Amino acid sequence: MLPEARKRKIVELVSTHDGQSVSELADELDYSKATIRRDLRALAEEGLIERSHGGALPATSVASERSYGEREVKNLEAKRAIAARAVEEIADTEVVFFDAGTTTTEVARRVPSDLLAVTNSPQLAVELGERVEEVKLTGGTLRSRTRALVGPTAESFMERTNFDLLFLGTNGLDVEAGLTTPNENEARMKELMVEKANRVVLVCDGSKVGERSFVQFAELDDVDHLITDAALPKRLAETLDAAGVRVTEEDTA
């Protein structure tokens, strides 16, 4: 592992775990404690973490967010693990739709190049354009909060098209409320995605499980395959099983 990569990893581990000991880091990264200490000292000087006896804590200032931009993404490790598993679903499909969202972005970063990608996220489109032969965008109005395209133009695009596979995100996944999201326009788009996709893969990190948001856009049995990092509550697991939903719980450890 490159020294700088190791330092980035340390910052990430310290930040996500709310502090890590020197031993834990040495163990995890497979470097000597001496090296870990050197790294911690350097990172503390840069203000990216705070040093304490025996280990390090996340920096309190905002400065850390600036230099390592991806920090804004919650549960990044979980999302990456989910994404790594999700791309395996692509085999033998041609037309794949990517819902806007951070988890689906991680999926997009791992896709093979020989497919036709469609998305309602301009950012995702640009990223996909660097990897994939053909990328299509739905068009429509840009919703500022999520950077997703919505509205009549986007919806009419959806009505004219069909997909082999959909990578779908959600804000809430609940046994009673089903799949939910805060915005009506986005909910309508997601509804159409589900309707027009042959196979629906829901990528969903643990923070969404058991949550209910404002608008429901799908039932649990609309999903063909759920990929998550969380151990699902028993009742949800049972309901999904009864609905014939395949569930993959990806270890993040």
Q: Tell the smallest beta-carbon distance from residue 213 to a copy of itself (Å).
A: 22
Q: Indicate the burial class of 84 (C-beta count within 10 angstroms; 0-12, 13-18, 19 or more).
A: middle
- Say how far apart CA 131 and CA 75 lie, in whole Å: 24
What's the rounded Cα separation, in Å, for the pair 191 and 70? 29
Tell me: does residue 22 bind DNA (CB under 7 A): yes
Residue 153 binds: one of DNA, a copy of itself, none (C-beta under 5 to 8 A by kind): a copy of itself
The kind and range of the H/E element at 178 are: strand 178-181
Enumerate residues 25-44 that contact DNA by CB under 7 A. 31-35, 37-38, 41
- Taking the C-alpha atoms of residue 90 and residue 116, their distance in angstroms, rounded to an integer, is 11
Nearer to a copy of itself, 137 or 236 (CB): 137
What minimum distance in Å lies between the beta carbon of 49 and a copy of itself? 11
Asked if 194 and 217 touch (Cβ cutoff 8 Å), the reply is yes
Q: Which does 41 bind (CB under 5 to 8 A by kind): DNA, a copy of itself, none?
A: DNA
For DNA, which is the closer residue by CB, 37 or 131? Answer: 37
Nearest residue (CB) to a copy of itself, 44 versus 177 = 44
Q: Whole-number minimum distance, CB 196 to DNA, in Å? A: 44
Site string for DNA, 51-80 (x = CB under 7 A): xxxxx-------------------------
Work out how close the CB of 183 gets to DNA at its nearest, in angstroms, rounded to a whole number. 27
Q: How many CA atoms lie within 13 A of 198 on its CB side?
A: 11
149: Cα within 13 Å, side-chain hemisphere: 22
CA distance 29 to 232: 29
Which positions lie near a copy of itself, rule CB under 8 A?
2-5, 8, 12, 16, 18-19, 21, 50-57, 60-62, 67-70, 109, 122-123, 125-126, 128-131, 134-142, 144, 147, 149, 151, 153-154, 157
Closest approach of Cβ 45 to DNA, in Å?
11
21-30, long-range: CB within 8 Å, 24+ apart, which pairs? 21/54, 21/55, 22/54, 22/55, 22/56, 24/55, 25/55, 25/56, 29/1
Question: Which residues, numbered 180-209, are part of the site for DNA (CB under 7 A)?
Answer: none
Identify the sign of the CA torsion 204, 62, 124, 194: positive
Residues that bind DNA (CB under 7 A): 1, 3, 6, 21-23, 31-35, 37-38, 41, 51-55
